[in-house]
Structure 1
């Protein structure tokens, strides 16, 4: 199993509509990726590790797939549609990491 993490760094001029993200964007992604998407979890950053520290990321999505190939096959045909929707909820360029789930 692999996890694709889409992370939106917190910045002074960054905007992010969590309501749109959770109620519109993520359901759109789920519909487009279909059965290849096994699970999705959304995090909303509230703090850093030290008292009073801001979170490094304003939001993160963690999506689980059976393999990198399954993700790429599902995402590829819909990449343009998914990426075009970003302008509807944020002005932040997301960072993406693909990880192998070990535990």
Structure 2
């Protein structure tokens, strides 16, 4: 199992429309990636390490796939459509990390 993490940095002036993200962007991603996408987790940052400090990421999304190949095969043909939707909900440039789930 691999996890594709999409992290949206929380910088000064960052805007993020969570309603659009949850009700439009994530359903779009689910539709386009189809059965290759095994699960989705969305987290809204609420704090950093120190109490009261800002969260380093305004939002993180974790997409689960059986393999890197399954991710690449499903995402590749739809990459532009998915990426073109980003400015509709945020001005933050997302960071991507692909990891192998060990536990």
TM range (shorter): over 0.9
**CA shift digits 1:39-77 (9 cap, x unpaired):** 000000000111111100000100000000000000000
2:51 matched to which residue of 1? 51
SS at match of 1:28: helix
SS at match of 1:90: coil
1:28 matched to which residue of 2? 28
Match status 1:81 vs 2:46:
no
CA RMSD of aligned residues (A): 0.4
Q: Which runs of 5+ in 2 are unaligned?
A: none
Matched length: 103
Q: Which runs of 4+ in 1 moved over 4 A?
A: none
Q: Which runs of 5+ in 1 are unaligned?
A: none
Which residues of 2 match residues 87-102 of structure 1 at below 5 A?
87-102=87-102
Shift of 1:13: 1.3
User: With structure 2 as the length reference, what TM-score do the two structures score?
Assistant: 0.99
Q: Distance in 1 between matches of 2:47 and 2:66?
A: 31
Q: Distance in 1 between matches of 2:51 and 2:80?
A: 40
Q: Distance in 2 between matches of 1:52 and 1:28?
A: 34
